[in-house]
A = this chain, B = another copy of it.
Amino acid sequence: MSALSALPLLSHLPQVTVAHLAQHAQVTAYAKREVVLHKGAAGQCLNFLLDGRLQGLDFTADAREVGLYFVQPGDFFGEVALVDNQPQPEYVTALMRSQVISIGKELIRPVLFAVPQLAEALCLRLSQRLRGVSEHRRILGLATPVQRVCALLVQMEKQGRIPQVPTHQELAIMVNLTRESVSRVFQLLQGRSIVERDGNDLLVLTPAQLTAWAEGAEVAVAT
């Protein structure tokens, strides 16, 4: 009950509704690297991440992993299959030990569309994910590793900072590069004082320079 009422999406619901949902919600623990949602599975639930960290991912035609998006605590996921009654479009796996709470489709689906704030929040999430995928498609079409990594960092940067920046390996699978290529780009970026580590975050010291590299402006100098 208290776990559900703390979720941003459900904060607009009357307490009695949350209590009812809580009675039928299921909490599951996942180990690191465990699969939370399988691609192609029927979307039976709307899921919320209580704690931990998840990643949506898929595989290329030649079987390489492509990271698609991250799920942070409080976020919901699995909403696309829930909405359109089609199979789950991608894998979701645990990047660390994670706890997930799931509410059955037959219970949550009517509530989602009947409460305007929930419908709006769901549309907002779908729109954001749509923009994310579109941007991702654009990034995958960029020519050089420098451009791809910089474009990805530009996408993640908010007010000069990337909170909880993914590992080089995680970034690599998002932009279809090797871990080594990503590390080389980071050496360049740190050498030029364009980015700098700050604990788990990455500070972007000169966002304009990062954007210029993403656009290919100084690739000749950078490589």
Where the two chains meet, the residues of A that have a C-beta atom closer than 8 Å to any C-beta of B are 58, 60-62, 68, 79-80, 83-84, 86, 89-90, 110, 112-114, 116-117, 119-120, 122-124, 126-131, 133-134, 136-138, 140-143, 147, 176, 215-216
Contacts and interface: CB of A to CB of B under 8 A. Distances in A.
The 9 closest A-B pairs by CB, nearest first: A119-B119, A126-B126, A137-B137, A113-B116, A84-B127, A83-B127, A113-B119, A133-B133, A83-B123
A89 B138 CA distance: 12
A216 B137 contact: no
Contact of A129 (B116, B130, B141): B130
Given A123-B119, A123-B122, A140-B137, A128 B60 contact: no
A80 B210 CA distance: 27
A112 B216 CA distance: 41
